Amino acid sequence: MTDSTKEPGAYDQLYSRRIYPLDAHDLSEEQIAVAFAMTSRRPEAFDEIAEQVSKEKAADFHERWVLGYGHASVAEHAVVHLAVENVSRLAVDTLEDNRLASYTEKSTRYQVMPEDYFYVPEELSQHQALKKEYVAACQSLFQGYRKLIDGCMDYLRETTPRIASERDGAYRMRLSRVATDHCRAVLPAATLTNVGVTANARTLEHAIAKLVSSGLIEEQLLGGAVREQGRLITPTLIKYADRVDYFAGASTIQLDQARRYRFPDEEPAADAVSGASAPEVKLVHWDRKGEEKLAAALLYRHSNLSYDDVWERVIDLGPESRQAIIDESTAGLGAHDAPTREFEVVDYTFEFTLDYGAYREFKRHRMMSYLPQPLTVAHGYKIPPVVVQAGLESEFEQTVRPAEDVYWKVREVSPLAAQYLVTHAHNRRVVTKFNLRESYHLFKMRTSEEAHFSIREPMLEAMRLAVGVQPQFFRNLKLRNYPDWWPHP
Ligand SMILES: Cc1cc2nc3c(=O)[nH]c(=O)nc-3n(C[C@H](O)[C@H](O)[C@H](O)COP(=O)(O)OP(=O)(O)OC[C@H]3O[C@@H](n4cnc5c(N)ncnc54)[C@H](O)[C@@H]3O)c2cc1C
């Protein structure tokens, strides 16, 4: 029953708005997660609930509800920050293959990697002679890296004028950044790295399960270490994160299927390219009903018709009206704005052949699906432009080729471990699907002049292909620099 004697003004303060942090200094992540979870059944304020939840009570709650009854979303309120150091880039790729987390990694663009900064796989411990060859191959890649940096620095000093106000240190730093950025291409996937990870306990559990289910020993050990350290923050929520037979079996099944149906899994491709080559980008699928789908999504939101009815009307509207609807919806987009969610209904599928360095930049985009093939030396490599301009192509080749030879030998023992020897210059195929909304973000960010050169070219080509088939969707895409072929005024 409502109290009809209250004055209307009394309602202003009845339930006043309160917004405040539940502080991780006062409460553990698991206590915070319980305080949030309990609001679904308890009337009190969050801070009142939190006061009643001891660490032990939180553990009991999670055991019962999250682990026992599978209410996994509760674990999303417990957040873990993990510092991960001296792990190979190959293993870090697997750790980072989780969309709902955040990462910042030591950059090979801005730092010169120290000598012998590479991982030696345990897979070779029973093969001492091969292990020696592996170590020698990595050492020689790192030595080649240093020499190439020196060579590129000489070239850059000769060809790059100093800016009037630039001091010695700043000038050297500027050139060194360019040299490092281009010469990192010879570093192998075995190169060590540090990465800061912020993830909620649900994502972390998934990440651990993937790592410990991996066929690579380093990834299994990394998964175990992440679990051990993660438990210091969320002792209950990732307690049972463990190997998942399904994950472990999936790649074996796929490999078996590929062989059974005669899809070769590793042969030096006939079209293998070495040296600086044009980016290979194919638009393999795109949505021929995209215009109708997008217009329908835009009109659906604020009508009370069923989707079938909206669709019929959208078809009747004809292309001109549909285009007008799309144009109106993008006209107000600012340079940093993302289009609304309706733009997620249109998809593009691309196949890229990216060098491993570019691939590592590309896969940071978490709103897409990507399916990379294993790292291999079979598709050749790209020589970075400054190395070519400095006339150091043959030095580059002499650095990379011996590692390729050892790659094939290690592959005989362990195809997974052979990937450690693939350099950042080597090409990798990846199929990826992303929607129109993400394409705005991707194209804006990765085709700008500030983007890394290795990713910029393929992204420009992807954008050219997408705009080629559906120019009408990109009329209001705000780019910092438009390419010459841009079809819109
Ligand atoms: C694996 C990995 C390693 C990285 N390493 C570095 C590094 O070493 N140095 C560096 O400077 N940067 C690093 N980053 C950041 C990286 O450059 C950007 O994340 C990347 O360019 C993708 O752009 P984005 O985050 O804007 O969006 P996308 O991942 O493409 O997603 C599109 C949009 O979705 C939203 N979104 C996606 N994921 C999240 C999330 N978890 N939380 C909140 N919003 C989200 C954002 O609005 C984002 O703009 C790394 C990112 C990842 C994923």
pLDDT in tens, 143-190: 999 999 999 999 999 999 999 899 999 999 999 999 999 999 999 999
Residue 48: inside a domain: yes
- The count of domains in the chain is 3
Residue 452: inside a domain: yes
Domain match, 114 and 196 both: yes
Q: What proportions of the chain, in percent to the nearest 5, are helix, strand and coil?
A: 50, 10, 35
Domain match, 132 and 261 both: yes
Domain match, 358 and 329 both: yes
Q: What is the CATH number of the domain that holds 335?
A: 3.30.1360.170
Q: Does the beta carbon of 452 sit less than 6 angstroms from any atom of ligand 1?
A: no
Using DSSP's 3-state secondary structure scheme, residue 371 falls into strand
Kindly give the distance from the C-alpha atom of residue 106 to the centroid of ligand 1, in angstroms, as a whole number: 15
pLDDT at residue 127, rounded to an integer: 98
Q: What is the CATH number of the domain that holds 107?
A: 3.30.70.3180
pLDDT band at 361 (very low <50, low <70, confident <90, very high): very high
Residue 291: inside a domain: yes
Q: Per mean pLDDT, which range of 7-16, 120-129, 412-421 is the poorest?
A: 7-16
Domain match, 265 and 320 both: no
Residue 484: inside a domain: no
Mean pLDDT of the chain: 93
Domain match, 466 and 322 both: yes
Domain match, 106 and 203 both: yes
**Strand pairing class (79-88; 280-286):** unpaired
Domain match, 242 and 310 both: no
Look at residues 77, 98, 118 and tell me which one is the last residue of a structural domain.
77
- Structural domain span for residue 339: 280-371+428-473
Nearest CA to ligand 1 atom 25: 365
Q: Which residues, listed in sequence order, are joined to residue 354 by a DSSP beta bridge?
A: 428
| pTM, entire model | 0.92
Residue 489: inside a domain: no
pLDDT at residue 3, rounded to an integer: 58
pLDDT at residue 240 tops 90:
no
Domain match, 260 and 291 both: no
pLDDT at residue 276, rounded to an integer: 47
| Across 344-373, average pLDDT | 96
Kindly give the distance from the C-alpha atom of residue 424 to the centroid of ligand 1, in angstroms, as a whole number: 21
How far is the C-alpha of 364 from the C-alpha of 100, rounded, in Å? Answer: 11
Q: Does the beta carbon of 306 sit less than 6 angstroms from any atom of ligand 1?
A: no
Domain match, 266 and 286 both: no
Domain match, 140 and 105 both: yes
pLDDT at residue 66, rounded to an integer: 86
pLDDT at residue 320, rounded to an integer: 96
pLDDT band at 489 (very low <50, low <70, confident <90, very high): confident
**DSSP letter for each residue of 382-396:** ---HHHHHTT-HHHH
Residue 486: inside a domain: no
Look at residues 77, 94, 119 and tell me which one is the last residue of a structural domain.
77
Look at residues 61, 77, 93 and tell me which one is the last residue of a structural domain.
77
Domain match, 360 and 395 both: no
| Across 399-420, average pLDDT | 96
pLDDT at residue 369 tops 60:
yes
For the stretch 459-482, pLDDT in tens is 999 999 999 999 999 999 999 889
Q: Which atom of ligand 1 is nearest to the CA of 96?
A: 1
For the stretch 264-316, pLDDT in tens is 776 665 444 444 455 599 999 999 999 999 999 999 999 999 999 999 999 99
Would you put residue 348 in left (φ > 0), alpha (ψ -120 to 50) or beta?
A: beta
| Across 333-342, average pLDDT | 94
pLDDT at residue 483, rounded to an integer: 94
Residue 182: inside a domain: yes
* Residue carrying the six token digits 């030696």: 120
How far is the C-alpha of 356 from the C-alpha of 375, rounded, in Å? Answer: 8
pLDDT at residue 277, rounded to an integer: 54
pLDDT at residue 64 tops 80:
yes
Domain match, 460 and 410 both: no
Kindly give the distance from the C-alpha atom of residue 264 to the centroid of ligand 1, in angstroms, as a whole number: 34
pLDDT at residue 174, rounded to an integer: 95
Residue 11: inside a domain: no
Kindly give the distance from the C-alpha atom of residue 100 to the centroid of ligand 1, in angstroms, as a whole number: 10
Alpha helices per DSSP H over 195-302: 201-212, 217-230, 245-260, 290-300
For the stretch 245-267, pLDDT in tens is 999 999 889 888 988 998 877 66
Closest CA to 403 of 380, 421, 429: 421
Q: Does the beta carbon of 47 sit less than 6 angstroms from any atom of ligand 1?
A: no
The DSSP output letter for 191 is B
Mutation test of ligand 1: which of 366, 368, 456 has the most ligand atoms closer than 8 Å to its C-beta?
Answer: 366
* CB count in 10 Å sphere of residue 240: 11
Q: Does the beta carbon of 367 sit less than 6 angstroms from any atom of ligand 1?
A: yes
